[in-house]
Amino acid sequence: MVMRLAVGFTDDYIIKVNNLKVYFTKGNSLFGKKNVTKALDGVTLTIKNREIMGIVGESGSGKTTLGRVTIGLQKPTEGDVYLKVGQEEINVSKAKLKTISKYVQMIYQDPYSSIDPIMRVYDVLAMPLKYRKEREIEKRIEDAMRLVDLPIELLENRVYQLSGGQRQRLSIARAVIVDPKYIVADEPTTMLDASLKGEILKIIKDAREAKGISFMLITHELPIAKIISDRITVMYLGKIVELGKSSDVIKKPLHPYTQGLIDAYPRIDPSLKDKLKEIKIKVDVIRPNKGCVFHPRCPFAMAKCKEEEPQLKEVYQDHYVACWLY
Ligand SMILES: Nc1ncnc2c1ncn2[C@@H]1O[C@H](COP(=O)(O)OP(=O)(O)OP(=O)(O)O)[C@@H](O)[C@H]1O
């Protein structure tokens, strides 16, 4: 227990989640068995001030649910979430959404559906600033447009007239314009061409530098997380399997699942390609009733892995893994 609480512990944090569980129940007990999906199953981590924390894992690993819980959009089944602003620690799952929304924002995967296409660009940015003086609104809009590298002339355009990349820049501008402390960016580059992905990531990094905003960057693509994240958390079926500095997780992956993810993107480090050839992950996704959640897919599974669940363990400094190989 002490080890779990200690994962990435620091006083200088914006988000702290402790043994977080989110279970979704489907089905009716009158007519059959209830189906429980453990979207998050005992997640403990902190996101430091000014940090970009990459959350990586395949579809269904719980990334979006984790992001939503940290900004109060999803209530946890169990566990706590704290947002720390200055010396004030806000219990996110108990506080009113209005209190939290002053400090947090979300950027979505699909700028086409998250912004009304017929609105004027100016109005998209002015809307969250209502009740402020006109001069302040103008100044903030100008600053936000500059930060995301959108020309001022576009302010009079309708959203549908913008390209996909411009729309995603606009959604970042809309998020940063209210000076949040923390932003959840959920697959912000997934819908974009490869050439635009880097530009959007650079804008996120610039927003961190210019405004000191902390980010949770959710992605199923490890190379995306590698580009701008300070640390990477690897999730599998609702659990953290590995957590560490980006360079450590990419260059010295400890968990067989992380090694498999890297194998899927050998261009990250071509020298790893041959070494990782032997680590071919089996494809069937089964949630076991006991033991390590990854053991049915793990090429290294031992008898112990089928019986006992490994806890996150600090194998190297600030580099944690939940695996019986260590
Ligand atoms: N509102 C919900 N009701 C029922 N099940 C849900 C709900 N939201 C998420 N889930 C389930 O919880 C699990 C985790 O989903 P989540 O969206 O958090 O994962 P993810 O890693 O973000 O995947 P994706 O990239 O596909 O969004 C999945 O099995 C999903 O089907």
Task: Tell me the pLDDT tens digit for each residue of 101-154.
Answer: 999 999 998 877 888 999 999 999 999 998 889 999 999 999 999 999 999 999
- Residue 271: pLDDT above 60? no
| Cα 64 to ligand 1 centroid, rounded to whole Å | 7
Name 145's Cβ contacts closer than 8 Å, sequence gap at least 6.
125, 151, 152, 154, 155, 173
Task: Give the relative orientation of helices 134-147 and 164-176 as an angle to the nearest 10 degrees.
Answer: 130
ipTM exceeding 0.95, yes/no: yes
154-163 mean pLDDT: 95
- Residue 317: pLDDT above 50? yes
Residue nearest to atom 29 of ligand 1 (CA): 60
What value, to the nearest 5°, has the Cα angle with vertex 177 and ends 175 and 181? 65
Indicate the fold that domain 13-103+180-321 takes in CATH.
Rossmann fold (3.40.50)
For ligand 1, what atom is nearest to the CA of residue 22? 12
| Cα 66 to ligand 1 centroid, rounded to whole Å | 10
The confidence score (pLDDT) of residue 7 equals: 59
Residue nearest to atom 18 of ligand 1 (CA): 62
The confidence score (pLDDT) of residue 31 equals: 62
For a mutational test of ligand 1's pocket, the pick from 36, 37, 38, 66, i.e. the residue with the most ligand atoms closer than 8 A to its C-beta, is 37
| Cα 39 to ligand 1 centroid, rounded to whole Å | 6
Q: Kind and range of the H or E element at 22?
A: strand 13-26
| Cα 178 to ligand 1 centroid, rounded to whole Å | 29
The domain ranges of the chain are: 13-103+180-321
Average per-residue pLDDT for the chain: 89
With bands split at pLDDT 50, 70 and 90, how would you rate the model's confidence at 30?
low
- Residue 240: pLDDT above 50? yes
| Cα 184 to ligand 1 centroid, rounded to whole Å | 16
34-55 mean pLDDT: 94
- Residue 26: pLDDT above 90? no
| Cα 22 to ligand 1 centroid, rounded to whole Å | 10
With bands split at pLDDT 50, 70 and 90, how would you rate the model's confidence at 1?
very low
The pocket around ligand 1, CB under 6 angstroms, is made up of 24, 37, 39, 57, 59-65, 220
For ligand 1, what atom is nearest to the CA of residue 64? 22
Phi, psi (deg, nearest 5) at residue 26: -120, 155
DSSP-assigned letter for residue 154: G
The confidence score (pLDDT) of residue 148 equals: 96
User: Which of residues 8 and 158 earns the better pLDDT score?
Assistant: 158
With bands split at pLDDT 50, 70 and 90, how would you rate the model's confidence at 3?
very low
| Cα 299 to ligand 1 centroid, rounded to whole Å | 26
Q: Which residues pair with 78 in a beta bridge?
A: 21
For ligand 1, what atom is nearest to the CA of residue 74? 1
Q: Tell how many helices (H) and how many strands (E) occur in the chain.
A: 13, 12
Percent of the chain at pLDDT above 70? 88
**Distance between CA 121 and CA 112 in Å, rounded?**
13
The confidence score (pLDDT) of residue 192 equals: 87
Residue matched to tokens 């089928």: 306
69-78 mean pLDDT: 96
For a mutational test of ligand 1's pocket, the pick from 43, 63, 75, i.e. the residue with the most ligand atoms closer than 8 A to its C-beta, is 63
- Residue 172: pLDDT above 70? yes
- Residue 189: pLDDT above 70? yes
DSSP-assigned letter for residue 242: E
Where helices occur in 102-163 by DSSP H, the ranges are: 111-114, 121-126, 134-147
- Residue 213: pLDDT above 80? yes
| Cα 237 to ligand 1 centroid, rounded to whole Å | 10
